[in-house]
């Protein structure tokens, strides 16, 4: 029930206050990714075979040295500074310096309970329109909606890998240059796994600078670039970019809830405003987790080895999934990082329509019911409902076993289909089930 619904006196005994909801949250559904997970669990409880390719959770365990550090700091019980544990802020700044050559200090870093929460604080503190390329991660727009900000979707094209182009951004911003705008760029991308080259980032940076656009660079999958070649737009547009990162994806620690924002000194006013809001809401991020996170951001051989193996397994899976879909006649871009792929089933639109499937939601509902393969409709990522796109997260396998099997001594070509069949059987079987269910492309 939503909205203001005064109960009439005749209704009977008082059973609590009437429903009065903030207009911005009326009718707001739970996050789509969490909903598909709950639906999959229900089917599993009914004894059905379900392939969970819906929720984008890292399959890999947290690296052992980081877990050890958490154990060693379990006794830390005091509230920490709102902006974060100084040692962690320093470690994050040093990490970006190492990775991107950005000269940042601990004072430029804000730690929060997940980057998602920091994004919410940012949208609350910054006054401007939100620009999001479609398709994009499911939570940016609902956050703007809760806060009451305008969301402007920026068009992208499948034949350009769903990546925002400088021309599209320029055309959009030229209308009212200098207007306060926050652009979220996420690469490698959730939902399609695509990313930008350094040259593309430089061209986008030039447009942002021209129109004074603030950029939130969501690089939570940066370390999962399959070739380890992630580059941040902050290299090209340091004065206007906030880098968002955290431990959820590359360190397998989604449930630990720790995220990081790294600002240039020119945006210190924004960091301070966000910290003020944080001080009145969550106070500070969990202390033991922050101490443990220092170990993750310090890096070193064990972390590099973990990342190297993660990238190999994910890269090989991405290739396998891409090839299967491509061979079935589906339109699909080859992912460059992360653990998602974004197929477009429009080549079989007429055949699917004959089965009564005309929207991405109908496609995903029927696929789950008829095969047990759970994927998310493209409409959740800002695509038109009738476009037959969907996001598939190739994460339903035992990451610990796959990781230990992906030895350093193995050659890349040894992480082949036989390896995947053995260590990621659920994902391989899900793809087989999906492809068997699909009709042939329309003539
Ligand atoms: C693109 C993207 N950004 C941000 C997040 C949020 O991550 P966290 O709040 O766990 O740091 C996610 C999680 O799924 C994501 O996919």
pLDDT of residue 1: 42
DSSP structure string for 223-289: GGBTTS----GGGT-GGGEEEEEESTTTTS-GGG--EEEE--GGGHHHHHHHHHHHHTTT-S--HHH
pLDDT of residue 11: 66
What are the respective helix, strand and coil percentages of the chain, to the nearest 5? 45, 10, 40
Q: What is the DSSP letter of 308?
A: H
- The rounded Å distance from CA 116 to ligand 1 centre is 6
* 190, 193, 221, 393: residue to mutate for ligand 1 pocket, most atoms within 8 A of CB: 190
- Length of the chain (residues): 443
6, burial (CB in 10 Å: exposed 0-12, middle 13-18, buried 19+): exposed
What's the CA gap between 283 and 261, in Å, rounded? 16
- The rounded Å distance from CA 57 to ligand 1 centre is 9
- The rounded Å distance from CA 251 to ligand 1 centre is 13
Nearest ligand 1 atom to the CA of 137 is 1
To the question of pTM greater than 0.85 for the whole model, the response is yes
pLDDT of residue 9: 52
Nearest ligand 1 atom to the CA of 259 is 11
340-359 pLDDT, tens digit each: 999 999 999 999 999 999 99
- The rounded Å distance from CA 250 to ligand 1 centre is 11
- ω before 333 within 30° of 0 (cis)? no
Residues in contact with ligand 1 by the CB-under-6-Å rule are 56, 114-116, 137, 186, 190, 218, 220, 246, 248, 254, 259
- The rounded Å distance from CA 328 to ligand 1 centre is 31
- ω before 81 within 30° of 0 (cis)? no
- The rounded Å distance from CA 360 to ligand 1 centre is 23
Nearest ligand 1 atom to the CA of 218 is 3
* 224, 249, 254: residue to mutate for ligand 1 pocket, most atoms within 8 A of CB: 249
Q: Which residues of the chain have pLDDT under 70?
A: 1-11, 31-33, 408-410, 412
**Do 419 and 320 meet the contact criterion of CB atoms below 8 Å apart?**
no
Nearest ligand 1 atom to the CA of 246 is 11
Q: Which residue puts its alpha carbon closest to atom 6 of ligand 1? A: 116
What's the CA gap between 364 and 389, in Å, rounded? 9
- The rounded Å distance from CA 256 to ligand 1 centre is 12
pLDDT of residue 357: 97
- The rounded Å distance from CA 4 to ligand 1 centre is 33
Segment (H or E) for 183? strand 181-186
Determine the Cα angle at 230 with ends 291 and 142, to 5°.
Answer: 70
pLDDT of residue 190: 97
23-72 pLDDT, tens digit each: 888 888 776 667 777 778 888 899 999 999 988 899 999 999 999 999 99
pLDDT of residue 434: 98
151-185 pLDDT, tens digit each: 999 999 999 999 999 999 999 999 899 999 999 99
Show contacts of 142-150: CB within 8 Å, 24+ apart: 142/28, 142/31, 143/119, 145/24, 145/28, 146/24, 146/25, 146/28, 146/120, 147/24, 147/120, 147/123, 148/24, 149/123
146: left (phi over 0), alpha (psi -120 to 50) or beta: alpha
Within a 13 Å sphere around the CA of 134, how many CA atoms are in the beta-carbon half?
17
- The rounded Å distance from CA 413 to ligand 1 centre is 31
Alpha-helical regions (H) of 299-423? 301-327, 349-354, 360-371, 399-405, 417-423
* 62, 84, 116: residue to mutate for ligand 1 pocket, most atoms within 8 A of CB: 116
Read off the tokens for 315: 């890269």
- The rounded Å distance from CA 220 to ligand 1 centre is 7
Q: Which residue puts its alpha carbon closest to atom 5 of ligand 1? A: 116
Nearest ligand 1 atom to the CA of 136 is 1
Q: Which residue puts its alpha carbon closest to atom 16 of ligand 1? A: 190
Nearest ligand 1 atom to the CA of 118 is 9
- Residue 233 has a CB neighbour count (10 Å cut-off) of 25
- The rounded Å distance from CA 396 to ligand 1 centre is 18
């Amino acid at each position: 029930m939503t909205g203001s619904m005064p109960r009439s006196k005749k209704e009977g005994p008082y059973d609590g206050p009437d429903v009065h909801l903030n207009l911005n949250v009326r009718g707001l559904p739970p996050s789509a990714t969490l909903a598909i997970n709950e639906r999959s669990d229900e089917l599993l409880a009914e004894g059905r075979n379900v392939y969970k390719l819906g929720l984008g959770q890292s399959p890999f365990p947290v690296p052992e040295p980081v877990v050890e550090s958490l154990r060693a700091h379990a006794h830390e019980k005091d509230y920490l500074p709102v902006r974060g544990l100084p040692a962690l802020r320093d470690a994050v700044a040093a990490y970006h310096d190492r990775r991107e050559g950005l000269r940042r200090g601990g004072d430029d870093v804000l730690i929060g309970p997940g980057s998602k929460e920091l994004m919410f604080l940012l949208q609350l503190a910054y006054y401007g329109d939100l620009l999001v390329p479609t398709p994009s991660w499911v939570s940016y727009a609902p956050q703007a909606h809760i806060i009451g900000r305008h969301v402007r979707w920026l068009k992208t094209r499948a034949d350009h890998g769903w990546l925002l182009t400088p021309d599209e951004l320029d055309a959009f911003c030229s209308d009212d240059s200098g207007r306060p705008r926050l652009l979220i760029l996420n690469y490698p991308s959730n939902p399609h796994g695509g990313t930008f080259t350094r040259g593309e980032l430089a061209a986008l940076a030039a447009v942002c600078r021209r129109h004074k656009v603030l950029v939130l660079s969501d690089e939570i999958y940066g370390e999962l670039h399959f070739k380890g070649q992630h580059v941040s737009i902050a290299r090209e547009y340091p004065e206007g970019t906030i880098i968002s990162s955290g431990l959820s994806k590359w360190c397998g620690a989604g449930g630990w809830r720790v995220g990081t924002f790294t600002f240039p000194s020119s945006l210190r006013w924004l960091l301070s405003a966000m910290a003020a809001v944080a001080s009145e809401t969550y106070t500070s991020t969990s202390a033991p987790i922050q101490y443990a996170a220092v170990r993750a951001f310090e890096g070193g051989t064990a972390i590099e080895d973990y990342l190297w193996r993660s990238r190999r397994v994910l890269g090989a899976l991405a290739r396998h999934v891409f090839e299967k879909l491509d061979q079935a006649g589906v339109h699909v871009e080859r992912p460059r990082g992360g653990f998602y792929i974004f197929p477009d089933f429009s080549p079989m639109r007429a055949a699917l329509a004959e089965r009564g499937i005309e929207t991405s939601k109908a496609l995903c509902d029927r696929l789950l019911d008829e095969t047990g393969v759970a994927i998310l409709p493209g409409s959740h990522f800002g695509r038109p409902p009738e476009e037959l796109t969907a996001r598939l997260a190739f994460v339903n396998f035992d990451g610990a076993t796959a990781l230990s099997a992906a030895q350093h001594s193995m050659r890349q070509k040894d992480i082949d289909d036989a390896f995947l069949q053995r260590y990621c059987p659920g994902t391989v079987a899900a793809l087989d089930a999906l492809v068997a269910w699909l009709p042939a492309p329309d003539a």
